[in-house]
Structure 1
Amino acid sequence: MSAELPILYQSDDLVAINKPHGLLVHRSPIASDASEFAVQLLRDQLGQRVYPVHRLDRKTGGVLLFALTESMNALMQQQFMDGLVHKTYLAIVRGYTDDQQTIDYPLRRDDGSGPGQGTLQEAVTHLRTLQRTEVPIPFGKHATSRYSLVELTPETGRMHQLRKHMAHILHPIIGDRPHGCNKQNKLFLAHFDMNTMLLHAQQLRFTPPGAGEPVVVTAPLQDEFERMVDSLRFSVYGLQ
């Protein structure tokens, strides 16, 4: 990655970037093919150590927040655990979703092999449909294909929560593997040469420790997501 990471917000002890789709936050044994990581790239870009205070999936783009000191890292991680950080995502999903829906569906912990692995954890996601579209692309027995552009607000922060919840209500996120629809993913690859997961961390809202004023960090859509918004005939008005 030759270009610098886009910085969306920076203070004395916090910095937020617009993480590209496909970039790992940090080195992982389950992704041995990766040679670049957000932690190292941002460290080299700023010339100082950085601490990711939360995580985004490799395939997810958007707002990623880092602390610049160990003490701020601990304080911000506590805010995330206490539910004091409001997160908003955008996703393009299969089919027509309800106008609004709360998905209250416990998920099994699958983020490691330590104590608690496999146990059910409470997981809640709020969905709001922003737009719907129907495009003249045959799919199965249907002459057209239908998609929805949705806003997702997780109340909890389980691993792959949004991906699993959308699959659970039968509106999987386009480009998601393994939780999505392989047939839809193949359709997007064939028609649009697109294999990015269409999940974008659009916004974080929080009050930094020691600060009186809340901070709102918003990430513009990245190129592939924006291209699919245009290709599927959604309107980009109001999404940036």
Structure 2
Amino acid sequence: MLEILYQDEHLIAVNKPAGMLVHRSWLDRHETVFVMQTLRDQIGQHVFTVHRLDKPTSGVLLLALSSEVARLLSQQLEQHQMTKVYHAVVRGFVLEDGIVDYALTEERDKIADKFADIDKAPQPAVSHYRVLARQEMPVAIGRYDSARYSLVELTPQTGRKHQLRRHMSHLRHPIIGDSAHGDLKQNRGMVQHFGCPGLMLHASQLQLPHPVTGEMLTIRARWDSRWQQLIERFAWQGAVSELERVEFPLNSGQDSQTIFG
């Protein structure tokens, strides 16, 4: 059963578990469980994708309950009317908040993008990041006697493939558990010393105007057991409790509704 964060006659949002594909992909032929199929069986009706989350990423995933609403939501996405907020655990101490404005070349899958334009220029990509907490743990990973980590809030302004992962890697603060752009020694160390496998990237919040009613929606997804365990181990409960009390600004003059998963 998927955790449903929000549902009405037009939309449904779920808290996607880490490690679960949104839909079938011939690049992961061995997978048999998908969000779309599971949710369709759970609510007894078809669902339509609007955006996606990578397989290892958890958090808010929005789907439409009709093709027309899916079209409206896709337009909102293209017009940057949706605001996404992620949280990540990264390597090292991030010392201050900032913006990454770093163009990205298109990442291609060897099979799916076989005929893609290989000469496509790098595309503009902008991400905002905010430091919430830091911690140094007395465990030796690689050539260091201790390991440093930061909890950061990430807000992508654009939507390039693996943008947040690539931008944090560009800052030399790769997201823990990122096998493609991260620090493999740190990834192994996180499992070995803290029992925390997988990518530590979570889509915490999605904010958008309802495509039918115009009401402003803020949908939030709580963290899974991996996150909760690590937050307790790193003594980050204070940062988390403060975060849960934050109300993000909405557009003035519009009704709003906040949904907590």
Same fold (TM over 0.5): yes
SS of alignment partner, residue 216 of structure 1: strand
Asked if 1:78 corresponds to 2:75, the answer is yes
* Residue matched to 2:252: none
Checking the alignment, whether the CA contact within 8 Å between 1:109 and 1:116 is kept in structure 2 is no
The 2-side partners of 1:28 and 1:117 are apart by: 22
Distance change in 2, residues 1:117/1:68 (3 Å):
farther
The 2-side partners of 1:45 and 1:61 are apart by: 19
* Residue matched to 1:238: 242
Distance change in 2, residues 1:148/1:68 (3 Å):
same
SS of alignment partner, residue 30 of structure 1: helix
1:179 alignment partner, one of 165, 176, 181:
181
2:60 alignment partner, one of 58, 63, 67:
63
* Residue matched to 1:51: 48
Checking the alignment, whether the CA contact within 8 Å between 1:23 and 1:59 is kept in structure 2 is yes
Checking the alignment, whether the CA contact within 8 Å between 2:132 and 2:151 is kept in structure 1 is yes
SS of alignment partner, residue 188 of structure 1: helix
SS of alignment partner, residue 108 of structure 1: coil
Matches within 5 A, 1:189-204: 189-204=191-206
The Cα of 1:81 is off from its aligned counterpart by 1.2
The 2-side partners of 1:153 and 1:205 are apart by: 12
Checking the alignment, whether the CA contact within 8 Å between 2:142 and 2:185 is kept in structure 1 is no
Checking the alignment, whether the CA contact within 8 Å between 1:109 and 1:118 is kept in structure 2 is no
* Residue matched to 1:91: 88
Structure 1: runs of 5+ lacking an equivalent: none
Identity %: 43
- Give the alignment's TM-score, normalised by structure 1: 0.94
SS of alignment partner, residue 133 of structure 1: strand
2:170 alignment partner, one of 168, 171, 174:
168
Asked if 1:158 corresponds to 2:160, the answer is yes
The 2-side partners of 1:122 and 1:209 are apart by: 27
Checking the alignment, whether the CA contact within 8 Å between 1:110 and 1:118 is kept in structure 2 is no
* Residue matched to 1:134: 136
The Cα of 1:238 is off from its aligned counterpart by 2.8
- Give the alignment's TM-score, normalised by structure 2: 0.87
* Residue matched to 1:107: 104
The 2-side partners of 1:154 and 1:47 are apart by: 33
Structure 2 residue identity aligned to 1:204: L
* Residue matched to 2:212: 210
* Residue matched to 1:40: 37
Structure 1 residue identity aligned to 2:47: V
Distance change in 2, residues 1:117/1:53 (3 Å):
farther
Structure 2 residue identity aligned to 1:181: D
The Cα of 1:156 is off from its aligned counterpart by 0.4
Structure 1 residue identity aligned to 2:34: F
The 2-side partners of 1:40 and 1:118 are apart by: 36
Distance change in 2, residues 1:29/1:209 (3 Å):
same
The Cα of 1:117 is off from its aligned counterpart by 4.8
The 2-side partners of 1:118 and 1:213 are apart by: 42
2:4 alignment partner, one of 2, 7, 20:
7
Checking the alignment, whether the CA contact within 8 Å between 2:94 and 2:150 is kept in structure 1 is yes
1:116-168 CA-partner distances (Å, limit 9, x unpaired): 45621111100000111111112233322110000000000111111111111
Following TM superposition, where does structure 1 have runs of at least 4 consecutive aligned residues deviating by more than 4 angstroms? none
